[in-house]
Amino acid sequence: MISIQAANKYFHRGSVNEVHSIRDLSMNVEQGDFITIIGSNGAGKSTFLSCLAGTHALDSGSITMGGTDVTRWPEYKRARFIGRVFQDPLMGTCGSGSIAQNMALAQKRGQRRGLTRGVKTSDREFFRQRLRPLGLGLENRLQDRAGLLSGGQRQALTMVMATLVRPELLLLDEHTAALDPKTAAQILDLTRSIVAEHGLTTLMVTHNMHQALSLGNRLVMMHRGRIIFDVRGQDKAGLTVEALLDKFQSQADAEVSDRMLLG
Amino acid sequence: MTLYAFLGALEQGFLYGIMALGVYLTFRILDFPDLTVDGSLPLGAAVGAVTITSGHSPYLGLLLATGAGFLAGAATAILNTKLKILHLLASILTMISLYSINIRIMNGPNVALLGTPSVLTDLESLGPPLYQITPVFFFLVAALVTGVLIWFLHTQYGQAMLATGDNRQMITSLGVNTDNVIIFGVGLSNALVAFSGALIAQNQGAADVNMGVGTIVAGLASVILGETVFGKATIARACVAVIVGSILYRTAIALALGTRLGGFAFTPSDLNLITAFLVIAALTAPMLKRRFSR
């Protein structure tokens, strides 16, 4: 289980540009939860994921993963628990390295790296076996540089790399946003099957309401650094895009009336 | 060009090639422009020379020089990663500090190594004249260093170093502390440069505080010349290309110094200008080739 308690994150704290990005956010993520996170721009979705990954340190609050307090752990140390796929397909792989080299790097996630050979001959069959289900023919291109692959292929490779060593938590930050609709659908199918196959605890940020509704067992809506809506199971399954938009709208209205009162 | 001059250029090419491998490691692998080398080359020379003049083995001198170079590089990388000083500025700060430190080490601006033992002393008993043996010997040393570097870059740690220079966010999210990799990498780079400096001092019979001026430019010229002429398709090829580039660079300089046009001749002080033109030529050659092949 992953537990986030009273988390706060500021940017440019104390300056005129101060942004209170995450506000008193608390949340428990159960083992095996597949949570989709939606919200308008600036709601703090990506910041929330970055805080979990350790890219940004929290200003206050705590994060525990599997009973371990990781609040003060740097990003590289938390990596032993976390698999990550970024929005930018170029971000998750090393363009100058071969597919095999990239996978070998991912295979050592969270472990010591020593002076033994980077890509062992015995690993190649394992890499092929994990690439075959993608149906992209990458299993025959282990020596090709990752930089030669298309955006969709690189994102598929990143998905495989992020889950090559089973992560306690899989973070997907709008990982289909930069892809064309057809490729995005393929990556989404891949996401569904990999998460289901390994029973991975997953947090997925998306701007696409259909995606948010069709994937996962739990949906979280964020607004201005807070969670304003959190549904799971049957309640989520019954949700429609209209219902979500209504929820969004009512939040916006509430804010307008707040501002009027304060004004 | 005489055979004697050519063998001299080869010898220099291998010696300075080891330094250029260090420059390749920071400039190309880690994407960390590092000017520390202008200080760590004379640092290696100074430490190596003082070890010999205080009565110790020249081999111990090489070892201590290498260690000192590593510390100098690590200092630059720590300034950058831990104290968040821009890499270029961090390396300049270490470089100017080393000027003072090198004078302290030598207790003066230079140390002469006349009549003292060097790694070449043992070679004299082999028979052939020294000017013929030394290029062979330095070839073997450069080949060994190149081989070890190629091996290292294919290990798990070496691969993490390549990834650190290419995509820092990616390798961090795979659990690598990139600060440590950069500190070790820049340290290793300067260890190579200092090792090269110690060998150069033993070869030319003196260590001088000013012998490092222009090291980074010579290193970059070798790396770029090598890539342009020999290619960089694989890590192994790119590493060998550095040594090839270094030999080309030293040969070009020897040729330039031997050129007489009527009353005009190049002097050693023209070397910087020649180097600049060589680098410009190497950088623009691929572009010109494309333009003329159309």
Asked whether residue A154 is domain-assigned, the answer is no
Query: What DSSP letter does each residue of B166-205 carry, written as one string?
Result: H-HHHHHHTT--HHHHHHHHHHHHHHHHHHHHHHHHHHHT
Cross-chain residue pair B155–A117, CB shorter than 8 Å: yes
Nearest CA in chain B to A81: B175
Q: What's residue B54's pLDDT?
A: 96
Long-range interactions of B264-272: CB distance < 8 A, separation 24+:
B271/B214, B272/B214, B272/B217
> Where on the phi/psi map is residue A54: left (φ > 0), alpha (ψ -120 to 50), or beta?
left
B-chain CB neighbours of A79 within 8 Å are: 172-176
In this structure, the strands spanning A218-223 and A82-85 are: unpaired
Residue B175: closest C-alpha in chain A: A76
| For B149, nearest residue in chain A (alpha carbons) | A115
Q: Mean pLDDT across the stretch A159-165?
A: 96
Q: Is A106 on the interface with B (CB under 8 A)?
A: yes
Residue in the structure block whose two tokens are 């020294």: B130
- How many Å apart are CA A209 and CA A245, to the nearest integer? 9
CB A22 within 8 A of CB A51: yes
Per-residue pLDDT of chain B (294 residues; tens, 9 = 90+): 788 889 999 999 999 999 999 999 999 999 999 999 999 999 999 999 999 999 999 999 999 999 999 999 999 999 999 999 999 999 999 999 999 999 999 999 999 998 899 998 888 888 788 888 999 999 999 999 999 999 999 999 999 999 999 999 999 999 999 999 999 999 999 999 999 999 999 999 999 999 999 899 999 999 999 999 999 999 999 999 999 999 999 999 999 888 888 888 888 888 888 888 888 888 888 888 888 876
Q: Does A77 touch chain B (CB under 8 A)?
A: yes
Closest CA to B280 of B225, B211, B202: B225
Residue A43 has pLDDT above 80, yes or no: yes
* CA gap B212, B48 in Å, rounded: 15
Determine whether the interchain pair B167/A95 forms a contact, defined as Cβ–Cβ distance below 8 Å: yes
Task: Supply the pLDDT for residue A138.
Answer: 96
The residues near A89 (Cβ < 8 Å, ≥ 6 apart) are: A151, A152, A154, A155, A158, A178, A179
Compare CB distances from B155 to A97, A109, A118 and report the shortest one's residue.
A118
Residues of chain B contacting A90 with CB distance shorter than 8 Å: 167
Q: State ipTM.
A: 0.92
Tell me which chain A residues have a C-beta less than 8 angstroms from the C-beta of B178. 76
Backbone angles phi, psi at B35, to 5 degrees: -95, 0
For chain B, say whether A147 makes contact (Cβ under 8 Å).
Answer: no
CA distance B20 to A109: 32
- The yes-or-no verdict on residue A262 having pLDDT over 60 is no
Distance from CA of B158 to the nearest CA of A (A): 8
Q: Which of residues 25-54 of A touch B (CB under 8 A)?
A: 53
Contact A99, A144 (CB under 8 A): yes
Contacts of A138 (CB under 8 A, 6+ apart): A99, A131, A149, A153, A156, A157
Residue A95: its chain B contacts at CB < 8 A?
A: 166-167
Helix runs in B28-155, H state only: 37-53, 58-81, 87-106, 130-153
A176 with A89: CB under 8 angstroms? Answer: no
pLDDT digits (tens, 9 = 90+) for A53-77: 999 999 999 999 989 999 999 999 9
Going from the C-alpha of B83 to that of each of A106, B79, B171, the distances in angstroms are 29, 5, 21
Using CA atoms, how far apart are residues A32 and A263, in angstroms rounded to an integer? Answer: 45
Q: Which of B156, B168, B169, B174 best tests the A interface by mutation, with the highest count of A CBs <10 A?
A: B174
Q: Which two tokens stand for residue A68?
A: 């371990």
Number of helices and strands in chain A (H, E): 9, 10
pLDDT value for B60: 97
Domains of chain B: 3-293 (1.10.3470)
pLDDT recorded at residue B14: 98
Those residues of chain B whose CB sits closer than 8 Å to some CB in chain A are: 152, 154-160, 162-163, 166-167, 169-178
* Interface-testing mutation among A86, A96, A163, A175, with chain B (most B C-beta atoms within 10 A): A96
Mean pLDDT of A120-146: 95
CA distance B152 to chain A (A): 7
Q: Given pLDDT bands bounded at 50, 70 and 90, which one contains residue A159?
A: very high
CA distance B148 to B269: 35
Averaged pLDDT for residues A94-99: 96
pLDDT over 70 at A261, yes or no: no
Angstroms from B171 CA to nearest CA on chain A: 8
Please count the structural domains in chain A.
Answer: 1
Looking at the domain assignment, is residue A183 inside a domain? yes
Q: Which two tokens stand for residue B128?
A: 């052939």
* Full residue range of the structural domain in which residue A208 is found: 2-96+167-262
Contacts of A117 in chain B (CB under 8 A): 154-156
pLDDT at A263: 47
**CB-CB under 8 Å, A105 with B171:** yes
Contacts of A94 in chain B (CB under 8 A): 162-163, 166-167, 170-171
Q: What is the DSSP letter of A25?
A: E
Q: How far is B243 from chain A (nearest CA, A)?
A: 22
Average pLDDT, chain A: 93
pLDDT score recorded for residue B64: 98
Q: Is A121 on the interface with B (CB under 8 A)?
A: no
Q: B-contacting residues of A 53-72, CB under 8 Å?
A: 53
CATH number, domain with residue A83: 3.40.50.300
Nearest to A114 among B154, B157, B174 (CB): B157
The C-alpha of A95 sits at a distance from chain B's nearest C-alpha, in angstroms, of 7
Identify which has the larger pLDDT, B236 or A262: B236
Using CA atoms, how far residue B239 sits from B136, B182, B201, B214, B223, in Å, is 19, 19, 24, 21, 9
DSSP code, position B270: G
Mutation site for A-interface testing, chosen from B173, B182, B235 by largest number of A Cβ within 10 Å: B173
CA distance A166 to chain B (A): 12
- Comparing alpha-carbon positions, the chain A residue that sits nearest to B159 is A118
Least confident of A219-228, A237-246, B208-217: A237-246
